[in-house]
Structure 1
Amino acid sequence: MRNLSACEQLVKEAIKGDDSAFLQLIQLYKIDLYKTALSFLRSEEEALEAIQEVTYRAYKSIRTVRDASYFKTWLIRIMINYCNDQLKKEKRVVFSEEILSLQGTSENYNEMELKDAMLGLDERSQEIITLKYFQDMKIKDIALTLQCPEGTVKTWLNKALKALRNKLEGNGGDQRV
């Protein structure tokens, strides 16, 4: 992994119009973008399409980045907005091929139960849990991404986890979240 100053330098070069620097940044963060998209869209094909669209959107608006140290946060925010827009457009429950082809093992069942419970949460709760546990973001970084105070993120996360726990227990699950 690159040190922060090297990434910040790439961001500054990309803002000035260096396409090569922009492509290096996308390459650096493509796994984070993919994991975020997959956690929202639940489909590998849709996640890959999301990366293409978000790359295009980021390229078009790279000059709007104010602080190079928050480039990753800015990029993830674009992905979250794109995914939420897609989910709103479709207004449907998305079942990935992975879920449909489960073999029935208890590990797969627990994963399916967790994904199903996540789909039952409100948009903000899904977003907070995804950022915290699927992206391994710190509360401070989530607050920056969502542009709200850290205390608010903690409150939302607490409520989201409680709602998720209730959904899992309501489904007969004995998992602890």
Structure 2
Amino acid sequence: MNLEQLVAAAQRGDDDAFYQLIRAHKEKLYRVAYAFFRNETDALEALQEVTCRAYLKLSKLKTPAYVSTWLTRIMIHTCIDEQKRKRRWQLEPTEREAAHVEDTDSRLQIDEALSRLAPVQRQVIILKYFEDLTIREIASLLGHPEGTIKTWLHKALGALREDLGKGW
């Protein structure tokens, strides 16, 4: 049986034909997965996932001659999906806690720097960046011209940069 006949038989529901098809492409698919993960266990899991996805989607393969390309694309997408999933859980709990402590530290530094600003400058910063108001809305709220609000905002940002350093 040639490749196209094997695909046609598998699409008609012949599980043995599907098994032969996967077996014929197993080495190539494994090499692709191993190139992504550099880990035998993950590569074998990806191969299992591709086998499952291919079995479920075999009816969507339009050109049997491209079965090798089709399977390789499924493998690539499977590997990318798995890498995205792993990236989401990459931080260990202790690293997450350290990131939270660092974030809290940064917030405290910002709060302290804000408390050292003149009251009007602090109000403008809070209204602009914490309440997301526009310059026009702040001007109308405080009862001052827009130009004055822009000046206060500029001076407040300059004072914060000086107080917190250039890294902020």
Distance 2:18 2:75 in 1: 16
CA distance in 2, matches of 1:66, 1:72: 13
* Distance of 1:65 and 1:35 partners within structure 2: 22
In the alignment, the residues of structure 2 paired with residue 67 and residue 42 of structure 1 have an alpha-carbon distance, to the nearest angstrom, of 32
Runs of 4+ in 1 over 3 A off after TM superposition: none
SS of aligned partner of 1:66: coil
Deviation at 1:42, TM superposition (A): 1.2
Structure 1 residue 81 corresponds to structure 2 residue 113: no
Unaligned stretches of 5+ residues in structure 2 = 91-168
Counterpart of 1:56, as a letter, is C
Cα offset, 1:58, TM superposition: 0.4
Equivalent position amino acid for 1:6 in 2: N
Helix, strand or coil at the partner of 1:91: helix
1:61 to 50, 57, 62: 57
**Residue matched to 1:17:** 13
* RCO higher in structure (CA 8 A, sep ≥6): 1
Deviation at 1:23, TM superposition (A): 0.2
Q: Corresponding residue for 1:42?
A: 38
Tell me the CA shift for residue 88 of structure 1: 1.1
Opposite residue 21 of structure 1, the aligned amino acid is: A
Q: Please, what is the CA RMSD of the aligned residues?
A: 1.6
Letter in 2 for 1:71: V
Structure 1: gaps (5+ residues) = 95-177
1:132-171 paired onto structure 2 within 5 Å: none
Which of 24, 31, 41 matches 2:27? 31
CA shift for structure 1 position 29: 0.3
Larger Rg: 2
Deviations 1:94-138 (A, max 9, x none): 9xxxxxxxxxxxxxxxxxxxxxxxxxxxxxxxxxxxxxxxxxxxx
The TM-score, its normalising length taken from structure 2, stands at 0.51
The Cα shift of 1:91 comes to: 1.6
> In the alignment, does 2:39 pair up with 1:70?
no
Number of equivalenced pairs: 89
Quick one: which amino acid aligns to residue 62 of structure 1?
L
What secondary structure is seen at the aligned counterpart in 2 of 1:57? helix
